[in-house]
Amino acid sequence: MKLKGRWEREGIGTGNGGGSIDCTARSQALPSHRWLRVDRWTHGYVLQVLSPRVVLFPDPAGTQAPRYPPATPIDVDQGYVPARHDEMEKTKRRMKTTPGGISKDVCGWSHVRFSTVLVKGGATMFPQSSQNRYWMFSDENDLTALREKTNAEFIERHGANMTSEEREEHFLSHTEERTLLRFYELQLRDFCRRFTPSMPRATVATALHYFKRFYLRNSVMDYHPKEILVTCVYLACKVEEFNVSIYQFVANIKGDREKASDIILNNELLLMQQLNYNLTVHNPFRPVEGLIIDIKTRYVSLENPERLRPYIDEFLERVFLTDSVLLYAPSQVALAATLHAASRASANLDNYVTDILFSKEHLGCIIEAVRKIRSMAKCVEPPSRDVVRALEKKLEKCRNQENNPDSDIYKQRMQEMLDEEDLQENEKYAKIIQDQAAHDEKILGVSKVLSPSVL
């Protein structure tokens, strides 16, 4: 997390002189997975973290005379949510160190106010994230065009000597690829459900993101989904800090676990490369928490908002099986889930959305996005097993054998790589011996040490 700019401070009550402090370096100590409470600025300003922005607010309590004219908050992020008093008190008891590595003479802990917020620090905000820049698309037509291009490029490479009729019969079409991928997305979800130890939902969601992203620019005929599937889950475990070893991981896989381990480790770097190393995924879980807290705080007419959670979780599980996560921001998905849950629970959040959450000029596009997300979630249907079985047989005939671990071509290529590595190691070892001999000759002044028997 970075704090933008240099903020003035004077050492009030600290014995330090006036001046300025660059908080950027100190802020690097902010934990990436810890809820923080940031309290009063010593000049009568409130230092707030807005996921992950740090913002300077005028102090409403006025306990210190403001050094600067009251003004609008600096760099305010839209939609910040004040936390409840009891949550702040619990956090205050848990957190003994100064948040974000900012020294206590800069950030005080004097008391709790509703202007203070709880956030999870250390991450880039979604608008500035690689996910928003590189992995969000304007509409479903863009996704379809990209998938058609990927399918056509594979067929062009591997079916150059075939007629159009032969290509159609031999290769999978882009719609057939989508059918297979929908099936394997369900397989990924079910694998994570059965996983031991229990897998956090953020890890499952991130794995599904990786899987969708990978097959935007790679064909299932190039890389079999069952091999990329487990690699996506394994990488997501690392990124989301769900700590399992490769041995624990493959213990959840049926069949040859040593072979599964080799496949995962061989594909891990490939997966990261195809993701352009954009590994951070913003999921809608945190926006959901923010909405629930906001409803409790600013829309008290809704009784027991916690009753919405089961419906929200059910909706999000379906959303992750659609392309919504590639088209809409996590906050929009979270709002769609919350409104869907309210509808299922016979609750009304219309006034909350129209009168509290959004201004009238932004309301139209938000409602349209929510409508589309809910519509896509309704259309999640598992493909027929018979259809999938037929497509699997077709895939085995047309897949790229160079990427098939069971093929002779793949095994030969792997052996050549191992032989090349051994050769490089032998050459490196021979060079070390040669350099050592030259060094000894220079130090001892002899070109060769002869055996006593020769003498």
- Whole-number pLDDT of residue 189: 97
User: Region 357-363: what's the mean pLDDT?
Assistant: 85
Burial of 368 (0-12, 13-18, 19+ CB in 10 A): exposed
pLDDT tens, position by position, 364-403: 899 999 999 999 999 889 999 999 999 999 999 999 988 8
Instruction: Provide the β-strand partners of residue 7.
Output: 21
User: Region 192-205: what's the mean pLDDT?
Assistant: 97
* Rounded Cα distance, 418 and 372, in Å: 51
pLDDT at residue 95 greater than cutoff 70: no
Closest by Cα among 393, 401, 406, 381 to 178: 381
Q: What is the pTM of this model?
A: 0.68
Closest by Cα among 76, 178, 147, 210 to 383: 178
pLDDT at residue 63 greater than cutoff 80: no
Domains of the chain listed by start with CATH number: 136-275 (1.10.472.10), 284-379 (1.10.472.10)
Phi, psi dihedral angles at 271 (to 5 degrees): -60, -45
Contact 260, 250 (CB under 8 A): yes
User: Region 317-326: what's the mean pLDDT?
Assistant: 96
- Whole-number pLDDT of residue 445: 64
* Rounded Cα distance, 153 and 158, in Å: 9
pLDDT at residue 223 greater than cutoff 70: yes
Q: How far from chain centre, in Å, is Cα 203?
A: 8
Contact 44, 63 (CB under 8 A): yes
- Mean pLDDT, the chain, integer: 75
Poorest-confidence range of 75-84, 190-199, 260-269, 379-388? 75-84
Residue percentage of the chain with pLDDT more than 90: 56
Grouping H, G, I as helix, E, B as strand and the rest as coil, residue 118 is strand
- Whole-number pLDDT of residue 35: 32
* Rounded Cα distance, 391 and 399, in Å: 11
* Of 328 and 415, more confident: 328
- Whole-number pLDDT of residue 411: 73
* Rounded Cα distance, 207 and 213, in Å: 10
* Rounded Cα distance, 34 and 100, in Å: 10
pLDDT band per the 50, 70, 90 thresholds, residue 175: very high
- Whole-number pLDDT of residue 431: 76
Closest by Cα among 335, 308, 316 to 376: 316
- Whole-number pLDDT of residue 190: 97
- Whole-number pLDDT of residue 118: 31
- Whole-number pLDDT of residue 452: 53
- Whole-number pLDDT of residue 252: 96
H or E stretch including 19? strand 19-21
Q: Which two tokens stand for residue 129?
A: 């994230």
* Rounded Cα distance, 189 and 212, in Å: 13
Burial of 328 (0-12, 13-18, 19+ CB in 10 A): buried
- Whole-number pLDDT of residue 415: 72
End-to-end CA distance of the chain: 72
Closest by Cα among 44, 35, 49 to 2: 49
Phi, psi dihedral angles at 53 (to 5 degrees): -65, 140
- Whole-number pLDDT of residue 419: 63
Contact 362, 313 (CB under 8 A): no
Q: Taking the CA atoms of 46, 49, 54 and 55 in sequence, report the sign of the dihedral they define.
A: negative
pLDDT tens, position by position, 113-146: 223 333 333 456 899 999 999 999 999 999 999 9
pLDDT band per the 50, 70, 90 thresholds, residue 429: confident
pLDDT tens, position by position, 250-297: 999 998 999 999 999 999 999 999 999 999 999 999 999 999 999 999
pLDDT tens, position by position, 15-44: 333 333 233 333 333 333 333 333 333 333
- 132: number of CA atoms within 13 Å, CB side? 11
Closest by Cα among 177, 182, 184, 175 to 232: 184
pLDDT tens, position by position, 268-280: 999 999 999 999 9
For strands 40-41 and 35-37, give the pairing: unpaired
User: Region 191-214: what's the mean pLDDT?
Assistant: 97
